[in-house]
Amino acid sequence: MKLYTPKTPSVFPKLFKKYRWHFHSEEKVLYLTFDDGPIPEVTDFVLEQLKEYNAKATFFCIGKNVKKNPAIYSRIIAEKHAVGNHTYSHLKGWKVKTSKYLENVAKAHTYVDSKLFRPPYGKIKKKQAKALLKKGYHIIMWDVLSADFDSKITKEKCWENVKLNTKKGSIIVFHDSLKARENMEFVLPKVLEHFTKEGYSFKGIS
């Protein structure tokens, strides 16, 4: 059973106003984001594609992956992309105590120097979010989900998810992970080519 929608329901930004769901923009600007890396098999591909279009993105990194792959993380920084905290070990906030969750975020911060935060699975308790906001974190969600992680959808459907739902200021989610690799590597070049031709630019979240 599919438990997600490619387009974030409009009620969510209204209910969770302190989270960032998209950017209000009159300019043709898009915000590509990549979760769960960095890993050598996939993140390098993403970086090469972005470089080809002079596009910037935001990488929400898992702390233990940065620890394991510091050279790739350094490349992300060197190529002027933005980074964000995605916890140290990809915790699902709904299933852990707030104290453990905050410790995990803090541990990730020793490897990912950023106050941008995206909760794994988009799931975070109100108490956890409140604590992170108080510590100065900005919780970054999305309004377009490519669903590249879903092995039950076709690559073409994944591309359609992005193409049909993206608008000015959209925050788009991809994953630089092995699970999402096949779909992402098919769709990302199409997104970059199509929206560049449409006059869009791609920026990191600051």
Give CA–CA dist 32/55, Å, rounded. 9
- Non-local CB neighbours of 147 within 8 Å, separated by 6+ positions: 4, 6, 153, 157, 158, 161, 183
Give the pLDDT band (50/70/90) at residue 193.
very high
Query: Which residue among the candidates 22, 35, 109, 176 is catalytic per the annotation?
Result: 35
3 band by pLDDT with thresholds 50, 70 and 90: confident
**Tokens 């992956």 found at:** 65
175 classed as catalytic = yes
Mean pLDDT of 33-58: 98
Model pLDDT for residues 77-91, shown as the tens digit of each residue: 999 999 999 999 999
- Domain ranges in the chain are 11-202
Span 188-203, average pLDDT: 98
- Work out the angle at residue 30's Cα, subtended by the Cα atoms of residues 14 and 3, and round it to the nearest 5 degrees: 50
Mean pLDDT throughout 13-39? 97
> Given 22, 81, 86, 175, which residue is catalytic?
175
pTM: 0.97
Higher pLDDT, 1 or 27: 27
Q: What does the pLDDT look like over 167-184, one tens digit per residue?
A: 999 999 999 999 999 999
> Would you tell me which CATH number, out of the four given (3.30.70.1150, 3.30.70.60, 3.20.20.370, 3.10.620.30), belongs to the domain 11-202?
3.20.20.370
Count of CB atoms situated within 10 Å of the CB of 94:
12
Cis-peptide, bond into residue 38, ω within 30° of zero: yes
Comparing 1-15, 86-100, 139-153, which segment has the lowest mean pLDDT? 1-15
The band of 21, judged by pLDDT with boundaries at 50, 70 and 90, is very high
SS3 per residue for the chain: CCCCCCECCCHHHHHCCCCECECCCCCCEEEEEEECCCCCCCHHHHHHHHHHCCCCEEEEECHHHHHHCHHHHHHHHHCCCEEEECCCCCCCHHHCCHHHHHHHHHHHHCCCCCCEECCHHHCCCHHHHHHHHHCCCEEECCCEECCCCCCCCCHHHHHHHHHHHCCCCEEEEEECCCCCHHHHHHHHHHHHHHHHHCCCEECCCC
Q: Cα separation of 22 and 13, whole Å?
A: 9
Mean pLDDT on 60-88: 98
Residue 205 carries which side chain, given as an amino acid letter?
I
Task: Give yes or no: 194 in active site.
Answer: no
- Judged against a pLDDT cut of 70, whether residue 1 lies above it is answered with no
Residue pair 104/119 in contact by the 8 Å Cβ criterion: no
| Number of Cβ within a 10 Å radius of residue 18 | 9
Band (pLDDT 50/70/90 cuts) for residue 69 is very high
